[in-house]
Every structure is written in structure tokens, then in C-alpha cells.
């Protein structure tokens, strides 16, 4: 990667990045991995999800992301699944077993695992 | 209007992007604010925009950020510095850590913006060494930003250059005070000095310096992306935007929340926090960490901002919010905070070094049932003196937990002193465990649980506690399955 030399280059690069991460066929599974999440076992959850995604051959369309704190400390580890065109779903109290269930049900069968859903209690400024 | 109580500005990328990948930040308009500024705005425009936004320091004091930058811009110096204060030390607070771990690039971008505004070429992030993951992610972020030409020489071809370095703190609470922090970066003892001169005149290496807290900085790029007017339309008359709180204690949904200024405590504790754990009653909420105070139930509906919290004897502080249920002893809480501040006092001022120690000792005496009414008078008097005669914010605010609990929960202090009882049953010296002879069936569970072997009685006959030997540990109370043991 060369250094960005001006605002136009940054804008072009932004558009490229945006396409890369949020194209119409890009499913994102985000694992909350701040210190608190990791302490609660988010590392194992991440490995479990990444392993399941590979095993089921979903590697091309699903990106598994290590992110920071999602805010729901009472329900760590937390996982958010976002499928383009659908409302993203936040899950709480996930362990490595439940992580596999999320991949199978939510991604493969497109069924939300209602008993693990957390209310997403915030809006984000645009 | 939406029904959702939380609005994320400072936390907009936290838990959304991969903090170790600059491309994800850029995909969400990252570094667009600084790019637009460098292309279209003068440093004065930047300061004007921040003033218009109404942004105030989120680290505690609430000083207007635009004004702070303006002072540093106007003061002359061979070099100028921008410091990010990431020395988060309030017990139970983790707002800044979460931002640094979840969205480190927003802090870097904000520092470049501040650097451009005041004419500084160097920035330091002063972060406590106890935050290894935040440090790791910051290091990665800095490296990536240099690689993409968003830090370093000639940023985006503008001719403006800015470098950022990390400095580690050893976890001394007082180093969150800006003059102590600057001393610490310079390699001196982390002791505060008298202001003026303010850092904006004579800061790091005696040069004009701006010190901003992490959360304040996290708002800066967002303000330029959304426009100052939009930011200023959120919040109350004097406090604009949102505030992040670390919700902890006896509340169901412990977590990190971001709400518009002017949200009430009731909304935070009950709507967002889901109420008190175990269905117990609400007693108080502690805001502002060791510098703040305890807010009782009658103020649950006060819309919170910098001014309103100060009026009711607490302060915004950095955003720690500890919820306490009905079983909390307020004298014990005050003692806890005083123990913290006596530990963390740097020892420079007599009032803080010795005064707070004496406050702590008096509280200890009261919780042991040895306090007198005279102690209560002294407690208040000494607290006021420490506030008036300490040099820095630590000493000036250390008595707040005592003074605010005395103001709103004086009856509890009286109960400890006059009646020698702890109404919440927390202070072990004042607690008495007794066995109700009508309810006790002689199962011997309590006797088996007692570590002091002071419970006697035959099987299937009511037992008895030897009060002289009892160490008030509460093991019997927890062991009893028949509600036969009372705590008073």
C-alpha cells in the first residue's frame, strides 16, 4: 500500500474499502473482543465460529471479525450477525457450543436463535 | 423520535469494526474529517467549529474543548503538544479503555485535528500500563496510520505533519490530573503543580500543550463529519452531545452505555440498566468516581448534565456510575472511597495527605461503632477544609463521597454513632446475628458452617450463638435453610 497523497485518493480508497466490507454478499459475524469479552471467553467463541465457518465451506461469503466492546457486559461474550438487507442481530451469553448453533441456524438456515437474542438498545449517529 | 434511549457518537465504531484493521475505519468515513479539514479549513475555522458544537471535556471538569484549543493556539512556543489523557483510574470505570480497544483510529484522527488547530506537530498518548490490549491495538493503529500517510510528514499532501508516541503510566491515580500527567511524561514524579500556569501556556517541556481525555477526542472526528449544529442539537442547554457511562454495581444490565446529555438517572438505571438485581430497592447511584458523590432516590428524575450533577452534590466525572441497592451501607461506601484516595494521594499537600487519612480513620471508627456525635461535626468540618486547601482536583474532591453521603444519608451516620447499629447490616462490628428459637429446628447446619465454633446446641434442639466469640462473618446466616437466623 502506497501512502495516500490527497483527499481524492482517500475517498477512492474509502469506496474500495466500503465495497470490500459491506458488499451485498458480505455476511459479517462480529465477536466482541475487548479485554472484558476475552476474559469472558470470547477467544474460544471466535475460534469456534471461525472453525465452523471453514468446516461448512462458508469462508467466501462470511467474514468473522474481532471487534471491541459492544457494551453488554452483563451478557458477555457477545456476537453480532449482520446479513446485508436484514436487520443485524445481537446475541449474548455465547459459548463455543452456542457459537456453532448460531452459524448453523442463523447463517445456514437463516433462522434467528431467538432464545439468545439481546435487545440492541442503541442507535448510532449517521 | 425513536424510542431507543441510547445514542452512540463516541462509541459509534466500537463493537462494529475490527480495530486492528485501518481499512474498516476508513470504510466508515474514517480520516475523512481530517482530510476535509486539511483541504478546506484554517486552524481558526476548526476551533470555531468545535466551539459551535459545544463539546466539553469528558474527563471530569467539563471545560469547553474549543476554548482549550484556542488558548494553546494563541500562546507562543517553539513547539506545541497535544496529549491524550488515557490514564483512566476511577474504580469501576472502563469507558476510555473500551474506546481505545474498539476504535483506536478515531483517537489518532482527533489528535491530528487538534494538532492542526493549535499548530502542534507532536502528540502523546498517556496510557496506563494496566491496559495491555488497548496499548497493543493503539500500536497497531499508529503503525497503520503512518503506513497510509495519515500520520507523519506531509499528511495527505497538505504540508501538515504530526507524530504520535505512546507514554505509559504506572497506574497512579493522580497522574490523571493534567499537570501531574505532564510531569510524569517528562520523567519526573507524578505530582501536580499549581495552576496557573495552565498547560495551554506552559505545559509539556514548558511549551503550550492541550490535554484532552479519550472520550472527548472520540467525539471530535464525529463532530466534523456530522456538523457542529447537529451535534449541538443533542443534549441540554449547557451540555451538548452524549456521555458514555460505565454502568456497574447492583444493576441487572451492567454495561457500557452512551446517552444524550439530559437523560435522567431513572432512564439509565431502570430502562437501560434493567433495574436493580434481585428485585431489591434502589438506594443511590455514585457518579464521578472518588471525586463524585452519591445521589439518592429523590433525584432520579433530574436530567443529567455537568451543571445538574454538580448542583446535587456530585459531578459528571469521567463516567463511572455505580448503582447501589437498599442493602448498601453509605458510611461503608464513603470509607471505601476514602481508602482509595488516601492510597492515591501523592503526598504533596498536607491537607490531602494527612486530612484524608484522618477522615478515613474517623470513618473507620464510626463503622466499628466507636464514633461519637463530635466525630460527625469534625468529619464535615475537616472535609470542607480539605476541599478548600488542596492544590489539585484529587484533594479538592476527595471528601465528596463523605460530604454527599452525610448530606443525603445523615440518618445512617447517626444510627452508627448514636444507636451503634448499621441499618444495612454491612458493618460487621455493628451487626448482630441471633437465632430465633421458634424457627430453629436444630439441623446443626449453622454450627457446622461457623468458623469460630461459637454456635452450640443439641441436634433437633434450638441452637445458640455465643455473642462474645462471634466474628460476624455471616456464614451461619447464609447456611440456615429455615430463616431462623436474624441479622440486625
Distance separating alpha carbons of residues B138 and B207, to the nearest angstrom: 25
Contact A68 B222 (CB under 8 A): no
Q: Which of residues 56-75 of A touch B (CB under 8 A)?
A: 65-74
Last residue in a domain, options B325, B348, B369: B325
- Mean pLDDT along residues B126-151: 97
Q: Would residue A69 count as lying in a domain?
A: yes
Phi and psi based region of residue B91 (left: phi greater than 0; alpha: psi -120 to 50; beta: remaining) = beta
Query: Is the predicted pLDDT of residue B488 greater than 80, yes or no?
Result: no
Q: How many domains does chain B have?
A: 4
Residue-by-residue DSSP string for B248-291? EESBSS-EEEEEETT-BHHIIIIIIS-SBGGGPPEEEEEESGGG
Q: Are residues B198 and B102 in the same domain?
A: yes
Pick from A7, A9, A121: CB nearest B5: A121
Last residue in a domain, options B306, B325, B344: B325
Q: How many domains does chain A have?
A: 1
Per-residue model confidence (pLDDT) at position B394: 93
Q: Would residue A16 count as lying in a domain?
A: no
- The closest of B12, B455, B5, B448 to B222, measured between CA atoms, is B12
| Alpha-carbon distance A43 to nearest alpha carbon in chain B (angstroms) | 13
Distance separating alpha carbons of residues B374 and A126, to the nearest angstrom: 58
Contact A68 B31 (CB under 8 A): no
Distance separating alpha carbons of residues B348 and B172, to the nearest angstrom: 14
Whichever domain contains B474, its CATH number is 3.30.70.20
**Residue-range definition of the domain harbouring residue A65:** 24-118
Residue B2: pLDDT band (50, 70, 90) is very low
Q: Would residue B8 count as lying in a domain?
A: no
Contact B26 A17 (CB under 8 A): yes
Q: Are residues B460 and B374 in the same domain?
A: no
Distance separating alpha carbons of residues B57 and B424, to the nearest angstrom: 37
Location of C-alpha cell 459459548? A95
Q: Which of residues 220-249 of B touch A (CB under 8 A)?
A: 222, 226
On average, the pLDDT of chain A sits at: 94
**A48: which 3 cell numbers?**
469456534
User: pLDDT tens digits, residue range B5-41?
Assistant: 999 999 999 999 999 999 999 999 999 999 999 999 9
Give CA angle at A88 (A82, A89), nearest 5°.
105
Query: Is the predicted pLDDT of residue B3 greater than 70, yes or no?
Result: no
**B392: which 3 cell numbers?**
489539585
Phi and psi based region of residue B236 (left: phi greater than 0; alpha: psi -120 to 50; beta: remaining) = beta
Q: Are residues B366 and B473 in the same domain?
A: no
Whichever domain contains B388, its CATH number is 1.20.1440.230
Per-residue model confidence (pLDDT) at position B1: 38
User: pLDDT tens digits, residue range A19-29?
Assistant: 988 878 889 99
**Residue-range definition of the domain harbouring residue B436:** 432-487
Query: Is the predicted pLDDT of residue B157 greater than 80, yes or no?
Result: yes
Q: Are residues B202 and B93 in the same domain?
A: yes
Q: Are residues B116 and B163 in the same domain?
A: yes
Query: Is the predicted pLDDT of residue A90 greater than 60, yes or no?
Result: yes
Q: Are residues B54 and B181 in the same domain?
A: yes
Q: Would residue A1 count as lying in a domain?
A: no
For testing contact with chain B, the best of A35, A66, A71 (most B CBs within 10 A): A71
Helix (H, G, I), strand (E, B) or coil at B316: coil
| Alpha-carbon distance A9 to nearest alpha carbon in chain B (angstroms) | 9
Q: Does B38 touch chain A (CB under 8 A)?
A: yes
| Alpha-carbon distance B14 to nearest alpha carbon in chain A (angstroms) | 5
Helices (H), B119-241: 132-147, 178-185, 214-226, 228-232
Whichever domain contains A38, its CATH number is 3.40.30.10
Pick from A7, A10, A68: CB nearest B102: A68
Q: Does B480 touch chain A (CB under 8 A)?
A: no
Distance separating alpha carbons of residues B269 and B323, to the nearest angstrom: 8
Location of C-alpha cell 438505571? B269
CA-only gyration radius of chain B, Å: 26
Nearest CA in chain B to A19: B27
Per-residue model confidence (pLDDT) at position A121: 84
Q: Packing angle between helix B104-118 and helix B43-53, nearest 10 degrees? A: 120
- Mean pLDDT along residues B146-163: 97
Q: Would residue A13 count as lying in a domain?
A: no
User: pLDDT tens digits, residue range B291-310?
Assistant: 899 999 999 999 999 999 99
User: pLDDT tens digits, residue range B347-392?
Assistant: 999 999 999 999 999 999 999 999 999 999 999 999 999 999 999 9
Residue B473: pLDDT band (50, 70, 90) is confident
Contact A68 B148 (CB under 8 A): no
Last residue in a domain, options B212, B232, B252: B232
Q: Would residue A28 count as lying in a domain?
A: yes
User: pLDDT tens digits, residue range B307-330?
Assistant: 999 999 888 988 999 999 999 999
Distance separating alpha carbons of residues B127 and B171, to the nearest angstrom: 9
User: pLDDT tens digits, residue range A58-88?
Assistant: 998 899 999 999 999 999 999 999 999 899 9
Pick from A21, A67, A80: CB nearest B19: A67
Could you tell me the pTM of the whole model? Answer: 0.92
Q: Are residues B83 and B226 in the same domain?
A: yes
Q: How far are the Cα atoms of A11, A95, B15 from residue A101, in angstroms, in the given order?
A: 39, 10, 21
Q: Would residue B173 count as lying in a domain?
A: yes
Q: Would residue B5 count as lying in a domain?
A: no
Q: Would residue B132 count as lying in a domain?
A: yes
**B395: which 3 cell numbers?**
484533594
Nearest CA in chain A to B11: A124
Whichever domain contains B208, its CATH number is 3.40.50.11540
Contact B19, B141 (CB under 8 A): yes
Q: A89-91 and A79-82 as β-strands: parallel, antiparallel, unpaired?
A: antiparallel
- The closest of A34, A115, A118 to A74, measured between CA atoms, is A118
Enumerate helices (H) and strands (E) in chain B, giving the number of each: 21, 14
Q: Would residue B399 count as lying in a domain?
A: yes
- Mean pLDDT along residues B263-291: 94
Q: How far are the Cα atoms of A94, B7, B205 from residue A38, in angstroms, in the given order?
A: 12, 25, 39
Q: Packing angle between helix B410-417 and helix B356-367, nearest 10 degrees? A: 60
Chain B CB contacts of A6 below 8 Å: 39, 156-157
Whichever domain contains B299, its CATH number is 3.10.20.600
Contact A125 B7 (CB under 8 A): yes
Q: Would residue B2 count as lying in a domain?
A: no
Percentage of chain B lying above the pLDDT 90 cut: 90
- The closest of B122, B139, B123 to B20, measured between CA atoms, is B139
- Mean pLDDT along residues B56-77: 95
Q: Would residue A46 count as lying in a domain?
A: yes
Chain A CB contacts of B102 below 8 Å: 34, 67-69
Location of C-alpha cell 454495581? B249
CA-only gyration radius of chain A, Å: 16
Per-residue model confidence (pLDDT) at position B112: 98
Chain A CB contacts of B98 below 8 Å: 34, 68-69, 71
Q: Are residues B264 and B214 in the same domain?
A: no
Q: Are residues B381 and B470 in the same domain?
A: no
Q: Are residues B80 and B220 in the same domain?
A: yes
**B59: which 3 cell numbers?**
474527563
Per-residue model confidence (pLDDT) at position B42: 98
CB pairs under 8 A between A and B: 136
Q: Are residues B145 and B284 in the same domain?
A: no
Query: Is the predicted pLDDT of residue A11 greater than 80, yes or no?
Result: yes
Q: Would residue A9 count as lying in a domain?
A: no
Contact A14 B36 (CB under 8 A): no
Percentage of chain B lying above the pLDDT 70 cut: 99
Q: Would residue B422 count as lying in a domain?
A: no
Q: Are residues B251 and B206 in the same domain?
A: no
Distance separating alpha carbons of residues A102 and A53, to the nearest angstrom: 11
Amino acid at each position: 500500500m502506497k501512502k495516500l497523497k490527497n483527499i481524492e485518493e482517500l475517498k477512492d480508497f474509502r469506496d474500495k474499502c466500503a465495497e470490500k466490507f459491506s458488499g451485498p454478499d458480505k455476511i459479517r459475524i462480529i465477536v466482541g473482543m475487548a479485554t472484558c469479552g476475552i476474559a469472558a471467553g470470547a477467544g474460544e467463541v471466535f475460534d469456534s465460529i471461525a472453525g465452523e465457518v471453514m468446516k461448512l465451506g462458508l469462508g467466501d461469503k462470511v467474514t468473522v471479525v474481532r471487534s471491541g466492546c459492544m457494551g453488554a457486559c452483563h451478557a458477555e461474550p457477545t456476537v453480532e450477525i449482520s446479513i446485508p438487507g436484514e436487520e443485524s442481530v445481537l446475541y449474548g451469553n455465547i459459548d463455543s457450543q452456542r457459537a456453532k448453533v448460531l452459524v448453523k441456524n442463523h447463517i445456514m438456515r437463516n433462522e434467528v436463535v431467538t432464545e439468545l437474542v439481546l435487545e440492541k438498545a442503541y442507535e448510532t449517529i449517521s | 423520535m425513536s424510542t431507543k434511549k441510547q445514542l452512540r457518537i463516541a462509541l459509534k465504531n466500537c463493537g462494529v469494526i475490527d480495530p486492528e484493521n485501518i481499512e474498516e475505519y476508513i470504510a466508515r468515513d474514517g480520516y475523512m474529517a481530517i482530510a476535509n479539514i486539511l483541504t478546506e479549513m484554517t486552524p481558526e475555522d476548526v476551533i470555531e467549529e468545535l466551539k459551535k458544537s459545544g463539546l466539553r471535556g469528558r474527563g471530569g471538569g467539563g471545560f469547553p474543548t474549543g476554548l482549550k484549543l484556542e488558548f494553546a493556539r494563541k500562546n507562543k512556543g517553539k513547539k506545541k503538544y497535544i496529549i491524550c489523557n488515557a490514564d483512566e483510574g476511577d474504580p469501576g470505570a472502563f469507558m476510555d479503555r473500551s474506546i481505545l480497544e474498539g476504535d483506536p483510529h478515531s483517537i489518532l484522527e482527533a489528535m491530528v485535528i487538534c494538532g492542526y488547530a493549535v499548530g502542534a506537530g507532536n502528540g502523546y498518548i498517556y496510557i496506563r500500563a494496566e491496559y495491555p490490549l488497548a496499548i497493543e491495538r493503539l500500536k497497531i493503529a499508529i503503525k497503520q496510520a503512518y503506513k497510509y500517510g495519515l500520520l507523519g510528514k506531509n499528511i495527505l499532501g497538505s504540508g501538515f505533519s504530526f507524530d504520535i508516541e505512546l507514554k505509559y503510566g504506572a497506574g497512579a491515580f493522580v497522574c490523571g490530573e493534567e499537570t501531574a500527567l505532564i510531569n510524569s511524561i517528562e520523567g519526573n514524579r507524578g505530582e501536580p503543580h499549581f495552576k496557573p500556569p495552565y498547560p495551554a501556556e506552559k505545559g509539556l517541556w514548558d511549551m503550550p500543550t492541550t490535554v484532552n481525555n479519550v472520550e472527548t477526542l472520540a467525539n471530535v472526528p464525529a463532530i466534523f463529519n456530522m456538523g457542529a449544529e447537529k451535534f449541538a442539537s443533542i443534549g441540554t442547554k449547557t451540555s451538548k452531545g452524549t456521555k458514555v457511562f460505565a454502568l456497574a454495581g447492583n444493576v441487572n444490565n451492567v454495561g457500557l452505555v452512551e446517552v444524550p446529555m439530559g437523560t435522567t438517572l431513572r432512564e439509565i438505571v431502570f430502562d437501560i440498566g434493567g433495574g436493580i438485581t434481585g428485585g431489591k430497592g434502589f438506594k443511590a447511584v455514585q457518579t464521578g468516581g472518588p471525586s463524585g458523590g452519591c445521589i439518592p432516590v429523590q433525584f432520579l428524575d433530574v436530567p443529567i448534565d455537568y451543571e445538574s450533577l454538580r448542583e446535587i452534590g456530585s459531578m459528571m466525572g469521567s463516567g463511572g456510575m455505580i448503582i447501589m441497592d437498599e442493602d448498601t451501607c453509605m458510611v461503608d461506601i464513603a470509607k471505601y472511597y476514602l481508602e482509595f484516595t488516601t492510597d492515591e494521594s501523592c503526598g504533596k499537600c498536607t491537607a490531602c495527605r494527612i486530612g484524608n487519612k484522618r477522615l478515613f480513620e474517623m470513618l473507620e471508627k464510626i463503622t466499628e461503632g466507636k464514633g461519637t456525635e463530635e466525630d460527625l461535626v469534625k468529619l464535615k468540618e475537616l472535609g470542607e477544609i480539605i476541599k478548600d486547601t488542596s492544590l489539585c482536583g484529587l484533594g479538592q474532591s476527595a471528601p465528596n463521597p463523605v460530604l454527599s453521603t452525610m448530606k443525603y444519608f445523615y440518618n445512617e451516620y447517626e444510627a452508627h454513632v448514636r444507636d451503634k447499629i448499621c441499618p444495612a447490616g454491612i458493618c460487621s462490628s455493628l451487626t448482630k446475628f441471633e437465632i430465633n428459637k421458634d424457627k430453629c429446628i436444630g439441623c446443626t447446619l449453622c454450627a457446622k458452617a461457623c468458623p469460630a465454633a461459637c454456635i452450640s446446641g443439641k441436634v433437633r434442639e434450638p441452637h445458640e450463638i455465643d455473642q462474645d466469640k462471634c466474628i460476624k462473618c455471616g456464614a451461619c446466616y447464609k447456611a440456615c435453610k429455615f430463616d431462623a437466623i436474624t441479622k440486625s
